[in-house]
Amino acid sequence: MDYSASKPGKPSKKAPKHLEHNERGTAKTPFDAKADKAALLARLKAAAEAKKQEG
């Protein structure tokens, strides 16, 4: 008798174990939304300026 055929299958390795809070395709971060580079640069410049004034 072939006992190897009676074993349960291996679990899928490609599927994530849980959903991420910021994953693409949700209501919070839809697929068609692109990150605004100007807003990112403004945040980075403001953080650099605050760090420069702080110390």
* pLDDT for 41: 94
Q: How many folded domains does the chain comprise?
A: 1
d(CA 47, CA 53): 10
d(CA 50, CA 33): 29
- At 22, the amino acid letter reads N
* pLDDT for 47: 95
Helices in 1-55 by DSSP H: which ranges? 37-54
Q: Say if 41 falls within a structural domain.
A: yes
Q: Say if 32 falls within a structural domain.
A: yes
Per the structure, the complete domain to which residue 47 belongs is given by: 23-55
Q: Say if 16 falls within a structural domain.
A: no
pLDDT tens profile 1-55: 677 778 787 777 887 788 888 788 888 778 877 778 998 899 999 999 999 998 7
**pTM value surpassing 0.85:** no
Q: Say if 2 falls within a structural domain.
A: no
